[in-house]
Homo-oligomer: A and B are copies of this chain.
Amino acid sequence: MQNTALGRKLGAFVALSAPEISALESLHKRRRTFVAGRDLVHQGQSEQAAYILASGWAVSYKIMEDGQRQIVDFQIPGDFLGLRSVLFHLSDHSVEPVTNIDVTEILLPDLLDAFSRTPRLAMAILWAASRDEAMVVEHLVGIGRREATERMAHFLLELGARLALVGMGSKAGFDCPLTQYHLADALGLSAVHTNRVLRKLREWGMLTFRSGTVRFDDYDRLAEFAKFDPTYLDQTGPLLK
């Protein structure tokens, strides 16, 4: 079980005991599959389920009244989809699979049951939600304060670090199903601007974004350029022993 992506991720916060691992396993009862492009969490819907992503990528977003869309974040294996939605009367956002995905469905009673069995697992889930919030905060800082090229570099470094935690990336790069259109919608850039920014990073010898791959050509120089400090991802090993 600790080999699942969520188990690996939570391991960065808490060294789970055998009964805690079993409580985490009990959350993985109902496996489901969703195809790319069809929403599984729906903004405005009540009694929405949450999901743990086992494989594939997803994107969470909000639709404005005028139809504009703002991407909030991308989800990778080990991430919750719609965790807020299961606690709220109505879901405040939507989640769409970027690729075909495998998930486990979670309803409010499942969460309550797991919380009753082990308070440390409850803390770990609070930690994961807090880490999600820390990432949204960084995206807010990015849109509010970072110049476009730096914002792009920071964002792709963040994705790389998150993927590394679940064994899907390294300082060399990662497999990436996102399009330039996804990046534009997440970073508040036009398609033309996104293309220009990615070309710049490639010409500077720092990063190559290709269909299906992000390659860090010079990780250290890229991290320095983006002033990337991964403290907010809190991946340096368990605080709760």
Contacts and interface: CB of A to CB of B under 8 A. Distances in A.
- Counting chain B CB atoms within 10 Å of each CB, the highest count among A87, A127, A132 belongs to A87
Contacts of A141: 62, 64, 70, 72
B231 A72 contact: no
Given A129-B130, A132-B133, A239-B87, A70 B139 contact: no
Given A119-B122, A129-B130, A137 B93 contact: yes
A90 interface: yes
Given A123-B111, A227-B64, A227-B65, A87 B140 contact: no
A15 to B, nearest CB: 14
Given A112-B123, A122-B119, A137-B62, A87 B144 contact: no
A44 interface: yes
A35 B231 CA distance: 28
A140 B116 CA distance: 34
Contacts of A93: 137
A140 B70 contact: yes
Interface residues of A, number: 50
A232 B72 CA distance: 14
A202 interface: no
A13 B84 CA distance: 12
Contacts of A219: none
